[in-house]
Amino acid sequence: MHTQAMAAAEDRQAPHTGLDSRQTNAAARGKAEAKAEFEANKLSKRLHRQVGQAVADFNMIEPGDKVMVCLSGGKDSYALLDILMNLRQRAPIEFDLIAVNLDQKQPGFPEHVLPEYLTKVGVPFHIENQDTYSIVKRLVPEGKTLCSLCSRLRRGILYRVAGELGCTKIALGHHRDDMVVTLLMNMFFGSKMKGMPPKLVSDNGHHIIIRPLAYVAETDLERWAQVRQYPIIPCSLCGSQENLQRVQIKAMIREWDRQHPGRIDNMFTAMGQIVPSHMMDRNLYPFTTLQAHGKPDALGDKAFDADDDCGSTKPMGGSQATIRLQPLESGEHR
């Protein structure tokens, strides 16, 4: 009798135990979802603040501009278009956007993905069809880097399209890490202190190129792509060349930043705090005619000081916003 009573009691308790377990799991999921929502909104605010600040700092977009946003199908260009569309709604100036994709006729390229996405988000777009893939594959020997020729062909086509569409600015999706990597590549392999500027005149002299993601870290773009669930299209040209110098240098600076957090920010900030008198370019500073002037110089040489004052500096694209945005509706991602 005693055994039967205990079994009956356990049977009565089992459903309650299962219900409690389900309630606990649901509560845990709710907390995880709330935390993910909070982190996504915080990331959104940071990205929009940094892009708005870069746009303002370098006067990238002016009233009446028609900005051609180059869309490749990668995370960076998706984020660029997404953020510019949101900023356009809240910016103090009026400007137009048009998304442009160059379909290079790579084998297996999903031609429907970008038109469907761009139609869904409601932005004007143009798909330019040019078989540069075959040209690059035919002209570049097997095992050689494809980037140089591919970039030249793509650049020329996009410049032509910008003119045909009447665009005043061409926006590219390069970010902070790209700019640091380019500086290091030019130092290591080109013997030049030359980076990737946030704004420049195109090499044919006819267009203004802007990089609104200049202050944005690539790791943030990776997280944002997951939040927004962009339909990413892998590149079978660049994406298949894992031994590229750019890939290796990017891995190197990420490892540096892992070991010493803030190092990428410091390198990036240094690109905007150049002291020509402490470099070696005689075209930028009159070394040959230099004379003592008897006045203290805050940026002067401290040749006999110990190297103990090197610390992290405030990154460019910091906390101060320069484009004021209106509040979003409840639950809305920027």
Instruction: Give the pLDDT confidence score for residue 321 in this predicted structure.
Output: 37
Instruction: Give the pLDDT confidence score for residue 315 in this predicted structure.
Output: 58
The token pair that represents 202 in the structure block = 């195109």
pLDDT digits (tens, 9 = 90+) for 139-190: 766 666 666 667 778 888 999 999 999 999 999 999 999 999 999 999 999 9
Instruction: Give the pLDDT confidence score for residue 132 in this predicted structure.
Output: 76
Instruction: Give the pLDDT confidence score for residue 316 in this predicted structure.
Output: 63
pLDDT digits (tens, 9 = 90+) for 261-305: 999 999 999 999 998 999 999 999 999 999 988 888 776 766 555
How many residues belong to the chain?
334
Count Cβ atoms below 10 Å from residue 302 Cβ, excluding itself.
Answer: 9
Q: For the chain, what is the mean pLDDT?
A: 83
**Rounded CA gap, 12 and 178, in Å?**
63
* Cβ(196)–Cβ(92) below 8 Å: no
pLDDT at 10 over 70: no
Q: Which residues contact 254 (CB under 8 A, 6 or more apart)?
A: 264
- Please give the DSSP secondary-structure letter assigned to residue 330: T
**Rounded CA gap, 119 and 114, in Å?**
8
Is the whole model's pTM more than 0.85, yes or no? Answer: no
Which spans in the chain are helix H?
A: 2-57, 75-90, 113-121, 132-139, 147-165, 176-190, 218-228, 245-259, 263-270
Instruction: Give the pLDDT confidence score for residue 137 in this predicted structure.
Output: 74
**Assigned architecture for domain 39-270:** 3-Layer(aba) Sandwich (3.40)
Instruction: Give the pLDDT confidence score for residue 322 in this predicted structure.
Output: 38
pLDDT at 199 over 70: yes
Q: How confident is the model at residue 134 (pLDDT cuts 50, 70, 90)?
A: confident
